[in-house]
Amino acid sequence: MTGHQGSSDPDVMQIEVLTDERRARVVTDRVQLRRLAPFMGQERTVSQVAAQLGLDVTATYKATQRFLTLGLLRETRREARSGRAIRYYRAPQAYFTPFSVMPLEQIGQLNRAVHLERFEGQLARTMRHGLHGPWGALTRVLPSGEPFYDVATVDGRSWNPLDDDSPVVLSGWNLVTLPSAEARALQREIMAVIRPYLGRRGEGRTYLLGVFLTPDEGDSALSPAAPARAAGARTT
């Protein structure tokens, strides 16, 4: 069940509807939201949140004060002690931002830009450590007319990311032409592969995974389709 902030029913999720773009920018930006999230639906101190996130207390305090100023959380109580009292804060369990306040493309660009920059940096570092020899970017055109570049050697030998001794990376943009039913099937197949791995916690290395699929109504100069390529090739 859902409801607005202030409901006394414990089974109703507290949702605050945001109509101010400054506040909406915080709760739709995963970087900023990371510091607000520990307060959502529970009473916490600045020190508790700083310890949970592994951040400096001063930096966390400044972020908390900004959230207070924006009205995204509130002080719930103070616990007396010698010296300065301990202050507790709480935010609603959830926020709702209408697309009339923050358009979907603005939210997407804001978050994807950060993750794509992170991905490209991590990919470059991984490839530098995992590839040995005179590798580079081989730019060419497929028989379909689609241009792309591939990780390859100067003599045209392409790198295969599926080799057992290759770094565990995937990077690629591909144009594919599909009937609507087949596109829907592809969407569901991709989600079925990914879903079992989402939200898992435990031992192991963290990987940044991004998957994108949308109808393409963009540059008419792009070829409508290209044959499938080995994972790791990237279109330009």
- Return phi, psi of residue 180, to 5°: -55, -45
Give CA–CA dist 176/142, Å, rounded. Answer: 14
| Cα–Cα distance list, 187 to 21, 72, 155 (Å) | 32, 36, 37
The residue type at 34: R
Give CA–CA dist 18/22, Å, rounded. Answer: 9
* 94 within 8 A of 36, measured Cβ to Cβ: no
Cα dihedral 33, 38, 44, 48 in deg (nearest 10): -100
Name the pTM for this structure.
0.65
Return the pLDDT at 226: 40
Low pLDDT (below 70) residues in the chain? 1-12, 218-236
Return the pLDDT at 113: 82
* 130 within 8 A of 173, measured Cβ to Cβ: no
The number of CA neighbours under 13 Å toward the Cβ of 201 is 0
* 138 within 8 A of 150, measured Cβ to Cβ: yes
**Residue among 100, 180, 135, 22 nearest 126 (CA):** 135
Token digits of residue 171: 């990077």
pLDDT digits (tens, 9 = 90+) for 181-210: 999 999 999 999 999 998 887 788 888 888
Concatenating the DSSP letter of every residue in 85-104 gives: PEEEEEB-SEEE--TTTS-H
Return the pLDDT at 11: 58
The residue type at 227: P
